[in-house]
Each structure stands twice: as structure tokens, then as C-alpha cells.
Structure 1
């Protein structure tokens, strides 16, 4: 047997073919590196934090020890092994990565993925609702500098949209949310204020007298947007601002503008002109028992023609003179 054929780390007696016959003991030493497993250092790390709370987009790249023998496999948190040293979609928090080389030698390292910064935004260009009950408020949501475009926006849990501007908002508190390109969600709280009841005034045309029904009221809105509808004492709305044929008395008028905003209640009064005066110019009867007296009535200058006159509740006439009167009252 040739010495080169002997197993390392063993000893054997080998006959040597030369006189005198001598037996020589050969020892084949063990190579200093034969069957030695070298402990590897933990992999170096390049962790990337998650973009924001609640978004699992952290990542890490594992850099293996140069002593590791390829091919290498990697796993995180006991999951499925892979040949790539890059792991993505990681949650924020602590993780454990494991490297295994071709010799089955493992190395582990613990690392932390940071949470990231919450994204914020503000509500700008707030427009109040015109009045209670009318939903025409507006707001524009503007994401802060930590958020990444493009964005989607929603209002009060409604349908998402690409624009940050919302119209048709009711008066009151609202909650807007927006989502950035990383899936981070920001929340903005704001309030839409409301205009009040619309103001207005009125002018009156007096009734000519207490018994007349020829007074009128004209309403003048001092707020709101036309066209307007007007209501007298809760009656049928009308487009005209003037109510006619009114008797002296108190009335309540309201109006509604083109946006549906309601006015304040306007207390209006129709008064009457002073009572007309009438004087008489009598002519006495010639003598007792003779009915030839007369009277001429002199109307108030404010009386509006045509005039009619009557005496003692009799038939009315156009002439102010009555003849054939008996003596007496």
C-alpha cells in the first residue's frame, strides 16, 4: 500500500522490502482544516422604515458574512426561505432574520422596522353654507409635505375622488380623509359655518280709510340671491314682492331666495288714512209743514272721486245736494 493511500489520522505497520527486514510505523497526520465548521458573523442590515403607522411597507436587505458558502438562503421571522436577501412588505416592529449557507451553517440577526411619521393635512378655502338647510358649503383638503402624491380624498366616509375640493357641504362638522401613494391615511377635521335667516324690509301703502281694502305691502330683500318667492301670512308663494287689496291690520311676510334660503319673519302693518270729513250747508224749509228744505254736502278734499252721497240711509246719489227736505234733523 502506498503511503498516499492511507487515511489521515490513522497509523499502520507497513513492511519495507529491503534487508534487513524492518517494520516502520507511518502516521498520516490530520490536515489542520479538515472537517472544521467556521461560525459565521450575523448578517449586516440595511432596514427601511414603514412609511407611516398602519402601512406594512418596511424593508430590509441582509448582507451575508463573507465566510458564508454559496448558495445561501434567507428567511425572516421563521417564514419561507428565499434566495434573495431583500425582504419587503414588513410591518413596523422587531424581526429576526436567518441566513443559512451551503454547509447548513446558520446566522441570525434581530432588527427593527420603524413606524414612520403619520401624514397630516389641512382644510383651506372654506366657504360657509348660505343659510341653514342649504348645502352649498365648500372646502379644499391640502395634504402636508410628508405625504406622497398622488392622493385620493373622501368626505365623511363617502366615495373617494382624485380632487381635494369638495362642494355641496352642509353646515356643521366634517371629517375628510386622504390616502397617499404609500397607502398612508391622513385625517382632517373642520367645520362649515352657516349664514343666518335672510333679512328684508317692507314699505306700506295705507288703506284710504278704516273700511277700505286697498292697502298694500311691498317686500325688499336685503340678503340672499334672486329670484325670490314671497308669502303673506303663510299663504301661497308668489313671484311679486307686492301684496295688494289689503285691509288695515297686521301681517307676517316671509320670502325664499333662489338657493332655498328662508328669510326672517317680517312683521308688516297696513294703516289707514285719517277718516274723511264731511260738512253740510242746509237751507231751511219755507214754513212748518212745507218740505222744501235742502242741504249741500261738502266732502273732504282727500276724498277720491267718484263720490256718492246718501241721506238718512237712503239711496246713494252722485250729487251732494238733497232737496225736498222736511224741517228737522
Structure 2
């Protein structure tokens, strides 16, 4: 280095200008989640002459070492020190897709709120689930759902959301058909038979809506109106109403065509009236038939039996019709028909 004064005198000295090292730089990134422009890069510079500046395009520099709002891709990060020395490094901003999702459902029984949805998903932990897109929880099964169409959502740890449509079906309840037999002469021997179909077996039955059992035949019933209940495996309940009638006292009339010339051509016709039909008829008290006509009979005395299962309700002779007194069990003979005697 030289210096000269006003008189032209010159002096010199030696100065060493050192060559400072350029700064170094490293960088890390977070992915652009769900294909959005939300990746980040964090640069770390060292060395050089401070203060340091950073750039992701080599043109525009900033004092902050963090770059946000980045799409996925490869970036060249430049660091520049106070003296203008620079250095670069490459960094990749990855792209993470949203979580995968599938959903299954269990039907709602009898159109009640008993359906459920189960969501199955994979993605960046920790996953959260929703069926309205607003309220997210960490459990993947939703219970107590009404039948209908739903959207199932999953949100991963990066905030990515995926959705899938799912339907909660409604299972139909069972169908119920009932038949009955009347109660005889104010005796509590009416019956109701319940027949269920559809729904989900097995079925249970009730005539009070409280006590259910597997038996579908109800016996020993007094005359009156009844509501019969059937409940299937899914607790779906259907009802049917029926009336057990009070059977009228039966009457029996007998007409005779005599056998001619001592041949076997006699005929007996038994005619019953009342609301406890069908009845069965017999001439020997052993073999019964649904038909009320007996033919091919030889001359002689015959007893006509009329039977309403399981109780005998009357007898008839040639001279008069004898009814059993009401409400006296002595005259009701289970399974034993009472005869009417007829002479041919």
C-alpha cells in the first residue's frame, strides 16, 4: 500500500487481505400434504460473514430461514453472507396423499335407531373419524344410527381428509298371522295360534307384550279380544289382534231313511248348528268322520256321536235333545263323545 504527501514524498507498507470462507447451508422440509401447496423448508446457514440471508430462487433473499406455502418438488436453497459470498443446497419437498378410507354398516332394525357404521382407514397418524365432517373423534365405529345415507370421513395427522359414502339399511320386522278356535260354552278352552315369517329368526311370542317365549300356541283362553306379539332376533316387534269367540251351544238334528225290506239301505243324516264348527261324527264312538251322512245301514238301533275336540258338547236321543247343564264340569267329558240314540 502506498501513501504520498503534498511534497511528493511516498511511503509504503504491506497489507494482507484474507480470503474469508463462503457460508455453508443445509435444509430440511415437511411434505406438501394432500397434494396442496403447504410444504415447508427450513434452511440452516453457518460460517461466512454475518448476517446471512436465504433464497429459494437465487434472486429474492430474506433474513428468515423458513419458507412456507410450497408445492411438492425440488428446491435449490441459497445462503448469502454479508460479503456476498453464497452457497447452495438442494432439498425435496415431498407430497403426501390423503388417507385411504372404506366403511361398512350394520342395518337398523325395524326402522329404529340401531344401525352402525365402522370406518377403516390408513394414513399419517393420528387418524380421526367423523360422520358429519364437523365433529371428529378417535373411535372408528358410530352406533345408534337411523336408516339413511351417510358420508364417512377420516382426517390424518397432516390434516388431510378423505371421505366415502355409506348407507345404513333398514331391516324389516317379522310378519304375523294368527288363527284361533272359540271357547266352548263359556269354558276357557279357546286357543290362538301365531305364525311368524320374515324378519330374522328365531322368534318369540307373547299375548301380553311382557312375557315372551318360543311357544306359538296359546291355550286355555277365555272369550275376548287379544293382541298377539312376535319378536324376532333383532328385537323387532309386530302385533296382530284376534277375538276368541264364545261358541254357541250346539244343536244336533238327525234324519232317518229306514232300511227297506230288512236290507242294508238305511241312511242317517246328522245336522249340527252353532259356531263351534268343524265337528266330527261317528256311529260307534271310535271312528270319526268329517261327513255327517251315514249310509248302507241295516235295521237296528244306532247311536250318533258328535264331537267337538276336545270337549263333548251335547247328546241327542229319538225323543228329545239333551244339553249338558252349563258350568258343570261333571258333564264335560274330555275326549269322550256323548251319543245320540236313533232307531232305524
TM-score (norm 1): 0.53
CA contact (8 A) 2:227 2:242 kept: yes
| Superposition map of 1:232-247 within 5 A | 236-240=209-213, 241-244=216-219, 245=221
Q: Please tell me whether residue 194 in structure 1 is matched to residue 170 in structure 2.
A: yes
| Superposition map of 1:1-329 within 5 A | 11-14=4-7, 26=10, 49-52=31-34, 58-61=40-43, 69-74=48-53, 81=63, 85=65, 87=66, 90-92=68-70, 101-103=81-83, 116=95, 118-143=97-122, 147-156=123-132, 157-158=134-135, 160-161=137-138, 163-202=139-178, 204-207=179-182, 214-222=189-197, 223-224=199-200, 228-230=204-206, 236-240=209-213, 241-244=216-219, 245=221, 253-257=228-232, 259-263=234-238, 266=240, 276-279=251-254, 301-303=306-308, 304-305=311-312, 307=314
Displacement of 1:173 in angstroms is 2.4
Q: Where does residue 293 of structure 2 map in the other structure?
A: none
Distance in 2, matches of 1:133 and 1:268, equals 26
Displacement of 1:71 in angstroms is 3.2
Cα gap change, 1:307 to 1:99, in 2 (>3 Å): same
> Over alpha carbons, which structure has the higher Rg?
1
Report the secondary structure of 2:111's partner residue.
Answer: coil
Distance in 1, matches of 2:37 and 2:206, equals 57
Stretches of structure 2 that go unaligned for 5 or more consecutive residues are 257-302, 326-330, 332-337
CA contact (8 A) 2:39 2:93 kept: no
Q: What is the root-mean-square deviation in Å for CA atoms of aligned residues?
A: 5.9
Report the secondary structure of 2:121's partner residue.
Answer: strand
Stretches of structure 1 that go unaligned for 5 or more consecutive residues are 1-7, 15-23, 35-39, 282-297, 322-329
Distance in 2, matches of 1:11 and 1:102, equals 32
How many equivalent residue pairs?
269
Displacement of 1:119 in angstroms is 0.9
Displacement of 1:268 in angstroms is 6.1
Report the secondary structure of 1:255's partner residue.
Answer: strand
Report the secondary structure of 2:192's partner residue.
Answer: strand
Cα gap change, 1:131 to 1:72, in 2 (>3 Å): farther
Displacement of 1:179 in angstroms is 2.9
Cα gap change, 1:47 to 1:183, in 2 (>3 Å): same
TM-score (norm 2): 0.51
Cα gap change, 1:315 to 1:13, in 2 (>3 Å): closer
Cα gap change, 1:273 to 1:238, in 2 (>3 Å): farther
Q: Where does residue 276 of structure 2 map in the other structure?
A: none
